[in-house]
Amino acid sequence: MQRIFSGIQPSGIPTLGNYLGAMRNWAALQADHECIYCVVDLHAITQWQQPADLMRQTREMTASLLACGIDPKAHILFNQSAVSAHARLAWIFFSVTRLGWLNRMTQFKDKAGKDRENVSAALYVYPSLMAADILAYHATRVPVGEDQRQHVELANDIAQKFNHDYGVEFFPHIEPLILGPAARVMSLRDGTKKMAKSDPSDQSRINLSDDADTIALKIRRAKTDPEPLPDDMQGLEGRPEARNLIGIYAAFTDTDHAGVLRDHGGEGFGKFKEALTVLLVEKLAPIAAETKRWLDDPASIDAVLRDGAARAAVLADPIVAEAERLVGFLSARG
Ligand code: AMP
Ligand code: TRP
């Protein structure tokens, strides 16, 4: 059975983009994979987080994942900082990673913006920590949204260079799993920008905690052009907002863009948005309710994370200990 690893930052309420690009696929993959899912609090602090917010958001993200159907007994769900293997292997990988590789990372450029001199050093080496997350488990499959493809490729470069430098075949090759018609959900206000937890405008995204009225309002206000839905894929060229809403609809009806256009081509966006709203409310309301149920009992969330961290450490510790031995570290454990 293939081992899967993936992570999500507890830096806010998960969005529809997180759900369709990652969380929903994570749940589905549990049927035939060994899955390790991680709330990546080490990654979150690469940008400032109020400590009390970080604790709350770590529990909220865990509750959302449980509500999306992650099974913490059959699989593993934990928070990154609770397993020291991640930080230990990351340090080794910081030494393997070349600055030139990091300079090419588009997410760093986006997040740093014009303020490059003033972002944390950790934001820069963020992708090397992500490589350590995956490779500490020898995981070979990584379900993520499209925006993480470059980071998974970098993880392979790091694994290969480690193997080459130390003359071993220790770290495996990793495949990104970028699944479905909504692997890159765009902002509702601007079809050229990714939907993100961190966008200052709440109108730009659907949050998994939004109620029916909020969802309806956001979809009604979502930017579109005045043309009706086209009849074929060609008609989507140069219409990023239309493509985005159609992709979301496709993901929830288990079809693709072409399938939606077959059924709804020629329809006006007013009518299509109503159908999309019904669908979103039907699919997201149960998740919001289940998230709330978990959050009413924070001790049960903490228990899930504690148990997950203990089981994760059992898997990662020997792999990272072997990497440390290969590097030439004398071990206190002999
Ligand atoms: P993050 O919120 O950056 O920690 O992302 C967690 C997961 O959600 C990653 O697999 C991302 O690729 C995915 N993701 C985040 N935003 C989007 C989006 N707008 N569309 C699709 N997937 C996304
Ligand atoms: N960098 C990922 C994101 O922002 C989150 C992440 C951290 C991750 N470690 C990972 C994803 C390991 C997959 C595998 O979306």
Which atom number of ligand 1 is nearest to the Cα of residue 145?
12
- The set of residues, in sequence order, having a beta carbon less than 8 Å from that of 54 and lying 6+ positions away, is 10, 41, 44, 45
Per-residue pLDDT of the chain (334 residues; tens, 9 = 90+): 899 999 999 998 999 999 999 999 999 999 999 999 999 999 999 999 999 999 999 999 999 999 999 999 999 999 999 999 999 999 999 999 999 999 999 999 999 998 899 999 999 999 999 999 999 999 999 999 999 999 999 999 999 999 999 999 999 999 999 999 999 999 999 999 999 998 999 999 999 999 999 999 999 999 999 999 999 999 999 999 999 999 999 999 999 999 999 999 999 999 999 999 999 999 999 999 999 999 999 999 999 999 999 999 999 999 999 999 999 999 876 6
Tokens describing residue 75: 């699989």
Apex CA 194: angle with CA 72 and CA 142, to 5°?
Answer: 35
Rounded to an integer, what distance in angstroms lies between the CA atom of residue 90 and that of residue 124?
Answer: 13
CB 325 within 8 A of CB 331: yes
Burial of 5 (0-12, 13-18, 19+ CB in 10 A): buried
Sorted by sequence, the CB contacts under 8 Å of residue 326 that are 6+ apart come out as: 166, 168, 170
- Strand 34-39 relative to strand 175-177, pairing: unpaired
Q: Angle between the 121-135 and 149-166 helix axes, to the nearest 10 degrees?
A: 70
Distance CA 236, CA 232 (A): 7
Give the pLDDT score at 331. 84
Residue 72: CA atoms inside 13 Å, Cβ hemisphere, count?
Answer: 24
Cα 37 to ligand 1 centre (Å):
14
Residue type, 242: A
CA angle 206, 12, 145 (to 5 degrees): 65
What is residue 203's DSSP assignment? G
Please check whether residue 21 is in contact with residue 182, taking contact to mean a CB–CB distance below 8 angstroms.
Answer: yes
Q: In this structure, which residue's CA is closest to atom 11 in ligand 2?
A: 7
Q: Alpha-carbon distance 253 to 260, whole Å?
A: 9
185: closest CA among 213, 208, 162, 156? Answer: 208
Specify the 3-state DSSP secondary structure of 167: coil
How far is 19 from 23, CA to CA, in rounded Å? 5
Q: For atom 14 of ligand 1, which residue has the closest CA?
A: 18
- Which residue from 314, 258, 319 is spatially nearest to 92, judged by alpha carbons? 319
Question: Hey, how many other C-beta atoms are within 10 angstroms of the C-beta on 282?
Answer: 11
Tokens (6 digits) for 313:
């450490």
Best mutation site among 4, 8, 65, 125 for ligand 2 pocket (most ligand atoms within 8 Å of CB)? 8
Q: Which residues line ligand 1 (CB under 6 A)?
A: 8-9, 17-18, 20-22, 144-145, 147-148, 183-185, 194-195, 197
Q: Rg of the Cα trace of the chain?
A: 21
**What per-residue confidence (pLDDT) applies to 229?**
96
Q: Which atom of ligand 2 is nearest to the CA of 8?
A: 5
Tokens of 14: 């998960």
List, in order, residues 6 or more apart from 173 with CB less than 8 Å away: 140, 156, 159
Residue recorded with tokens 């992650």: 70
pTM: 0.97
What is the per-residue pLDDT for 334?
A: 62
Looking from the CA of residue 40, the nearest atom of ligand 2 is 7
- For 18, 38, 66, 93, 292, the CA distances from 304, given in Å and listed in that order, are 21, 12, 10, 29, 16
| C-alpha–C-alpha distance, residues 194 and 328, integer Å | 43
